[in-house]
Structures are given as C-alpha cells and as structure tokens.
Amino acid sequence: MTVAPLAIGLVAHDEKKAALVEWALAHADFLKDKALFATGTTGGRILEALPQLHLVRLKSGPLGGDQQLGAMIAEGRLDVLVFFVDPLSPQPHDVDVKALIRLATLANIPFACNPATADLIVAR
C-alpha cells in the first residue's frame, strides 16, 4: 500500500516571504518528499532558494491563490497550512486571508502562522 505524501500549503504576506524562505531552507530535508503548493510569488521565492523541491505554484494570493488553497482544504487535499502572516501591515485582500484561516480551522488541519508554530509541526 502506497501512502500519499503529506500535502502542505505555503503562503506568506509580502513582509514575511523572506522568513518563509528561511524556514523552508532550514527544513529542506523535511520538505523534499512532500507535496508542496504555494501561492505564486511565495512559491517563486521558495523555488529560487530550493529549486529541487516539488512545488506547485498557484496564482498569486490576491489573484485567487488563497482561494485555490482554500478549495484544496475544503476538498481534503491539503494536510497542513503554513501561512506566515504579517499582523502589522494592512492587507487589501484581508477577507480572502480570513476565509483561508477559517477553512483551515474548520477542516481541523495544522495551521502555522509563524516560524515557531511551523517548527513544532515539522518536529511532530
């Protein structure tokens, strides 16, 4: 019996993209055999740093990427959401962000909004 790889969604607000790339670099061994899905710009930044990862780039967050991740959660196709949130900057697509967080909560999947929480998920 083959077990599907853990499916992880990766997204970060603009001011947190560098932190997510740093986190991905620190956990490259963990991520290397996972099914990774990231919003457009975030995914591009991660792939620049770690081109060997199998990562599917979705649309940019404000252009539908957040909804794509949300649909994956609703369909049971995402196991973990790592979303580094910038609580100090206004987000023009804040309703999309709140919907994504709500879906992750309703689906009862692990959701990390900062590096400390993401580290705990990886350490499981």
Q: What span, in angstroms and rounded, lies between the C-alpha atoms of 97 and 109?
A: 16
Token pair for 118? 């993401």
Catalytic residues: 66
Whole-model pTM? Answer: 0.93
Query: What residue segments make up the domains of the chain, in order of their start?
Result: 7-122
Angle, alpha carbons 89-14-33 (nearest 5°) = 135
Topology (CATH level 3) of domain 7-122: Rossmann fold (3.40.50)
What is the chain's alpha carbon radius of gyration, rounded to the nearest angstrom? Answer: 13
Distances (CA, A) of 18 to 90, 91, 106: 18, 17, 28
Task: Note whether 4 and 82 are within 8 A (CB).
Answer: no
Distances (CA, A) of 103 to 13, 47, 49, 98: 18, 26, 29, 9
pLDDT tens for the 124 residues of the chain, in order: 666 789 999 999 999 999 999 999 999 999 999 999 999 999 999 999 999 999 999 999 888 999 999 999 999 999 999 999 888 887 776 787 888 889 999 999 999 999 999 999 999 7
